[in-house]
Structure 1
Amino acid sequence: MNSSQPAGDDSLAWQSREMAIAVFTVVMIAIHLVLRFAIGTSEYAWNVPLWLVLGFGGTPLVWELLRKIMRREFGSDLLAGISIVVSALLGEYLAGALVVLMLSGGEALEAYAVSSASSVLRALSKRMPAVAHRQIDSTVDDIPLSDVAIGDTVAVFPHETCPVDGTVVEGHGVMDESYLTGEPYMMSKAPGSAVLSGSINGESALIVKADKLAMDSRYAKIMEVMAKSEQQKPQMRRMADQLGAWYTPLAVAIGVAAWVATGDPVRFLAVMVVATPCPLLIAIPVAIIGSISLAARRAIIVRDPAALETADTCRTLIFDKTGTLTYGEPNLVEQLCVEESRGPEILCYVSSLERFSKHPLASAISKAAMESGCVVHGVSEVSEPPGQGLTGKVAGHKVEVTSRKKLLAIQPQLSDHLPQQAGGLECVILIDDQYAATYRFRDTPRPDGASFIQHLGPRHKINRTMLVSGDRPSEVQYLANQVGIHDVYASQSPEQKLEIVNAETAKANTIFVGDGINDAPALMAATVGVAFGQNSDVTTEAADVVVLDSSLQKIDEFLHISRRMRRIALQSAIGGMAISIVAMGVASAGYLPPVAGAILQEVIDVLAVLNALRVAIPPKSLIDFEKARPS
């Protein structure tokens, strides 16, 4: 977003105005060309559409110019405003109309990709239910969420979003809390279990007692952090503004010097015409739009064009854990059997039984069994009392899947025979009432994580990589060791994540990569926020870039697209300005009249734009680290 653009609802009005000016200008220029070349009317008649452009389109831009002069701001659009005035004074109305089109059109091209940060809060609000199902005795009534009082019992139906922070008083099931906590698994819920507002309920209805008011819930706190993050994030100074900051005063100084030295105001006008910063106003937006198109073809959606300009300048890359460097789902990683030779047999028994379970780890066991080619056995007498584990008869054997705690409550003598408890999740297996194995589960790291992390410094000048997660320390440290990250922060709330990102961004430009609602404040606070996947509309609204195909290769592609866009855009802009500066010198010496200068400037513009168009041509490869090999 241009540094002069307003924010919030005012930004939407501003974007609409720029679009309207651009469309109006195109229509009026078309009418001018028809009147001049097709119909052959008088000069007065064919100039009327151009006067309307300068009046209705140029006047707001010139007014903005005057406001910038009062604020002592000198950007590329400031020189465009001067060029509009100069063109009108010269009678070069078509040239002035083209400058209006360039200025408003360049902004309009970016408008579709620029999102208002307040839309994040709207998406966050929409995600929460407006009503809660309050239960009194056997009656369930829908009431506004704000009317729920502490101690009320609320029904949460299957697949609904939990409206309150509370405690389960009735029912058994699972909830997906990963968007809020960073825990990558479906969490079992039974009477006495705590639940968080914003969690997604599973397939069973739960009755929850509200422990907090809606305004004090975990979800509401995230909204508060989001609003704070929105207000505190500084506007990035765009590339065109940085270049225009020195180009504009230089052009004005050359023009004024020529006027003062010769006493001829036409010299000043000639310099201004040839100095029109079209390489900044057109070439840079063309390079940005071309790069946005290239990224989109690779399943990378760039929502804020400023991200393309600044990503290559970032020196710190901060990762959330779940769903970014991992797949966000449990996998069976260890099978610790009393008799190692019986490992395949035990897995076949357990997986045959787990087909009848809805436990969050059942799918991980079934997946491991499928990969191992396990035989499916007949199962009978299946029983899974809530919170008591899973039992059944498999191929004539009694098979039981339970927890370490429940096993030791029944057979405390096994405490010395069980393997030491480690990070991640686990379950224990009994065959015919005898302890047989312990299964361990983890959120498996992506196989190319280590090579991706290692190449960031040499290839992308990333000086620091960090892992900041809401997950447990043992899980986060396990992943960090696997991929080679040394700066690790675990058990971090959204507020703490925001503080870390703000602190790091104050030191150097940052990229934050995340995929949950708990990541949204950090995504907004980072210099560039990258959201993995489309798991949450809140996350994608908060991010500057959305990677639809969740893979580290796409992050690498985005970094290369950013670097390539920045290089080509600078070539186009600086090259065009360098030629313009030479032309300004010729014009100030009186050898380039205004009309000829306008024609020369158009040639410079074409060269700059043609070079900028190269960004849309896909290179041979945008990945330069060792990709994961198919398993």
Structure 2
Amino acid sequence: MTDHAIDRVLVRIDDALSAPALNRAILAVTLIAMAGHFVLMWGAPEQIGAYRTADIPLFILFVLGGLPILGQLAIKLLRREMGADFLAAISFVTGIVLDEYLAASLIILMLTGGQVLESFAMRKASSALNALARRMPSVAHRKNADGDIADIALDDIAINDLIAVFPHETAPVDGTVVDGHGTMDESYLTGEPYVVSKAPGTAVLSGAINGEAVLIIRAEKRARDSRYAQIMNVMAEAEQKRPHIRRLGDQIGAWFAPAALLFAIIVGYLSGDSSRFLAVLVVATPCPLLIAIPITVMSAISIAARRGIVIRDPTVLERLPTCQTAIFDKTGTLTYGRPELVDVLAGPDFDADLVLRLTAGLERYSKHPLASAVLKEARLRNLPLDEVSHASEKPGQGLSGQVDGHDVVVTHRNKLVKSDPKIAALLPETAAGLECVVLIDGQYGATFRFRDTPRAEGENFVGHLGAIHHFKKVMLLSGDRESEVSYLSDLLGIRDSLASQSPEQKVAIVRAEAAKAPTLFMGDGINDAPALAVATVGIAFGKESAVTADAAGAVIPEASLVTVDELLHISMAMRRILLQSVIGGMVLSILAMGFAAAGHITPVAGALLQEGIDVIAILNALRLAIRHDIDADIVEETRF
């Protein structure tokens, strides 16, 4: 058997011995055994044969709970690993040798309790993928040539098949509407809280949820090649390649455990006194590593919950203070995701209200975020919406259709400059912000100008990341158009920005940045889920998508950059107190090891002293739970 094969077998055995279910069972047995120990101390005969009656429950515990610990120890020795729990396992054996059965039981309690707490708090790696998979239908409804509809498997859908999407069903493939008028909720895919109207000619994305009407779509891709499947594939790849970051306790224990064991061996050898070896080992038991860390982390999780922050992966609290690159998605993160139409500059032959009325009628069938702004302005002006006989919106081609007998095209300046310079010459000067150009029957109708309002606290938040939180790089990464992204980045003072990025491109960029330095990514929508998964720390905004939440380490349901700043301060406070507890406890242990090596501390006294060190570390860890002074540096300010 090769070394690689042996290592795989050892990993499987280690995983079995540290399985959450087994740890929970051992924890329960430990609590029952310790309770039985104390009950028998008061009400049972003092001796049964050579053993104390009160110790019998502990002996049972050593068999049921101690053997898995010793098994883990043996595997760690074979794999040449020494973490925080390695020395604890050695101390467990030492406690039995010293007849300190209660101390040995406490070590089992510490080990299994910490593992149960960690497994409870950590999210499962497959949860985001499961959430994605649950949203897809198991069958599709294909409309045959004779008009009948038959259920088929998703894999059997062929390009150009006519697929019926019934009310409230999820679209199984990318396609184009050929029959029916209705709406679809694409917020799960786009991150935008918009319901998009659908008419013949409009595009449909797989994963979108249909409204009240039956829509017949022509499949343009097979199910496995459609947008939703691509996002699932990227998500799976992202989770598989997500770097494994070791627990802080293991990082410290990796050098402390072998150093302490070596020191105890040297002391025992030079002194010729085995009790000194045992005393050194007992006081070196890294209980502050095993107890202070989960207490501090859970205290931080509790504080975050009180501030409206859901911590799905506790390791983000350790990683967040180390992040040096901050990457933002745009819509819904740095902006409110509610663009407003601020100006309608009509052409020389058109009335502004007429152009707005015709455009609003067409925009009902658009999935672009600016569509809602046009519709809102039309409602404010009490303009009726005309009937649309045809609508089409293809990537990079703009929106077009026939409204009340007029051919209406909604496009952008750059396309007109290339395709129709005469009309482009009629356009007003460019201005900061967002815009689109409307053509009516081939003539220049109007220029619409929009403002996608940045969050009130956005500029202050971005500006203080370097000075207060030591970020060295801030990036804006968006799937939106270049003009929109440039406008916002200039407004907020972000020098690095990339527009028109697909989920796959976002993943590649975030992964590349994370390889250079620890990276924080903030976004919302399923399209951000893969990037959230590969970042060192991913923070999801909003509560629209469970998939995004599962991909992120932390979720802020009521999206606010002030709350993100509070999370940054909570993580800084947690890391500071955690290091105080762990390093302070270890320093005290090292001092106690010196006294034990000199013969001033017996093994029994060493066990009591170590308990005292543990209490100090725990009390310091609990300071975080009662703190009320963790506040953001920034406040909500009205900029506009």
1:74 aligns with 2:79: no
* 1:394-405 to 2 correspondences below 5 Å: 403=409
Unpaired stretches in structure 1, ≥5 consecutive residues:
393-399
Supply the RMSD in Å over aligned alpha carbons.
3.6
Q: What residue number does 1:16 align with? A: 21
**Partner of residue 225 from structure 1, selected from 224, 234, 249:** 234
Question: Contact conserved, 2:194 with 2:372, CA < 8 A, in 1?
Answer: no
Partner of 1:31: 36
Determine the C-alpha separation between the residues in 2 that align with 1:403 and 1:6: 61
Q: Which stretch of structure 1 is more off in the superposition, 460-469 or 137-146?
A: 137-146
Question: Which of residues 596, 607, 620 in structure 1 aligns to 2:616?
Answer: 607
1:541 partner amino acid: D
**Which amino acid letter does the alignment assign opposite residue 19 of structure 1?**
R
Q: 2:309 aligns with which of 300, 318, 337?
A: 300
What are the Cα deviations for residues 331-371 of structure 1, in whole angstroms up to 9, with x where unaligned?
223343679xxx9xx7899799979995666753575689x
Counterpart Cα distance in 2 of 1:181 and 1:353 = 22
1:46 corresponds in structure 2 to 54
1:396 corresponds in structure 2 to none
CA contact (8 A) 1:332 1:368 kept: yes
Following TM superposition, by how much is the alpha carbon of 1:303 offset from its aligned partner in structure 2, in angstroms? 1.2
Name which of structure 1's ranges 213-222 and 77-86 shifts more when overlaid on structure 2: 213-222
After superposition, the C-alpha distances for 1:369-403 in whole angstroms (9 at most, x for unaligned) are 89xxx6x76x77964545457679xxxxxxx9965
Query: 1:127: how far off?
Result: 1.3
**Cα contact 1:185–1:328 (8 A) shared by 2:** no
Which of 429, 435, 455 is 2:464 aligned to? 455
**Per-residue deviation at 1:413?**
9.4
- 2-structure distance, mates of 1:416, 1:495: 37
Taking the aligned partners of 1:288 and 1:593, their CA distance within structure 2 comes to 34
In structure 1, what is the equivalent of residue 532 of structure 2?
A: 523
User: Which residue in the other structure is 1:395 paired with?
Assistant: none
Q: Deviation at 1:161?
A: 2.2
Matching residue's letter, 1:32: H
User: Deviation at 1:418?
Assistant: 4.6
Preserved CA contact (<8 Å) 1:197 1:217? yes
1:124 pairs with one of 119, 132, 142? 132
Q: TM-score by structure 1 length?
A: 0.86
Structure 2 residue corresponding to 1:83, chosen from 63, 87, 91: 91
Q: Give the structure 1 partner of residue 203 of structure 2.
A: 194
Match of 2:483 in 1: 474
Contact 1:531–1:540 (CA under 8 A) maintained in structure 2: yes
Letter in 2 for 1:37: W
Matched residue, 2:120: 112
Question: How many angstroms apart in 2 are the aligned matches of 1:380 and 1:197?
Answer: 32
1:246 Cα deviation from its structure 2 partner: 2.3
Helix, strand or coil: the match of 1:623?
A: coil
198 and 35 in structure 1: CA distance in 2 versus 1, 3 angstrom threshold:
same
Contact 2:296 2:621 in 1 (8 A): yes
- Decide whether the 8 Å contact of 2:362 with 2:403 is kept in 1: no
Secondary structure in structure 2 of the residue aligned to 1:142: strand
What is the alpha-carbon distance in structure 2 between the residues aligned to residue 205 and residue 468 of structure 1?
A: 36
Seen in structure 2, the aligned counterparts of structure 1 residues 382 and 330 have a Cα distance that, compared at 3 Å, is: same
What secondary structure is seen at the aligned counterpart in 2 of 1:154?
A: strand
Pick closer, same or farther for the CA change 1:11–1:525 going to 2, 3 Å. Answer: farther
Once the 2 structures are TM-superposed, how far is the Cα of residue 215 of structure 1 from its aligned partner? 1.8
After superposition, the Cα gap between the structure-2 partners of 1:380 and 1:512, relative to the gap in structure 1 and judged at 3 Å, is closer
Deviation readout 1:221-273 (Å, 9 max, x if unpaired): 22222222222112102111121122212221221122011111111111111
Say which SS state the counterpart of residue 94 (structure 2) adopts.
helix
Work out whether residues 165 and 218 of structure 1, in 8 Å CA contact, stay in contact via their aligned partners in 2.
Answer: yes
Question: How far apart, in 2, do the equivalents of 1:100 and 1:347 lie?
Answer: 76
Q: Determine whether 1:63 maps to 2:71.
A: yes
Aligned residues: 604
Structure-2 separation of matches of 1:283 and 1:477: 46
Q: Distance in 1 between matches of 2:555 and 2:11?
A: 23
Aligned to 1:491: 500
Which shifted more, 449-458 or 534-543? 534-543
Closer, same or farther: CA 192–99 of 1 in aligned 2, 3 Å: same
**What's the secondary structure of 1:248's corresponding residue?**
helix
Q: In the superposition, relative to structure 1, how do residues 203 and 420 fare at CA in structure 2: closer, same or farther (>3 Å)? A: farther
Task: Return the offset for 1:467.
Answer: 1.4
Distance in 2 (alpha carbons) for counterparts of 1:215 and 1:349: 41
Q: Which residue of 1 aligns with 2:225?
A: 216
Residues 192, 332 of structure 2: 8 Å contact kept: no
**Residue 133 of structure 1 is aligned with which of 127, 137, 141?**
141
Residue 599 of structure 2 aligns to a residue whose secondary structure is coil
Given candidates 598, 601, 621, the residue that maps to 1:592 is 601
Structure 2 vs 1, CA of residues 269 and 10 (structure 1 numbering), >3 Å: closer, same or farther? closer
Q: Does 1:544 align with 2:564?
A: no
Give the deviation of 1:126 after TM superposition: 0.7
Give deviations 1:33-79, integer Å, cap 9, x for gaps: 11112445535321111112222112111211121122221211111
Instruction: Summarize deviations over 1:519-550 as a string: whole Å, max 9, x none.
Output: 22211111111111222121111111111111
SS of residue in 1 equivalent to 2:52 = helix
Q: Does 2:517 correspond to 1:508?
A: yes
Equivalences for residues 265-414 of structure 1 within 5 A: 265-336=274-345, 358=364, 364=373, 383-387=387-391, 403=409
Name the % identity. 52
SS at match of 1:208: strand
Q: Which runs of structure 2 are paired with 1:245-284 in the superposition (5 Å)?
A: 245-284=254-293
Any conservation in 2 of the 1:155–1:206 contact (CA below 8 Å)?
yes
Q: Please tell me whether the aligned partners of residues 191 and 526 of structure 2 are also in contact (alpha carbons under 8 angstroms).
A: no
Quote the offset at 1:577 in angstroms: 1.0
Map 1:573-592; keep pairs closer than 5 Å: 573-592=582-601
Quote how far apart the aligned CAs of 1:116 are. Answer: 1.6
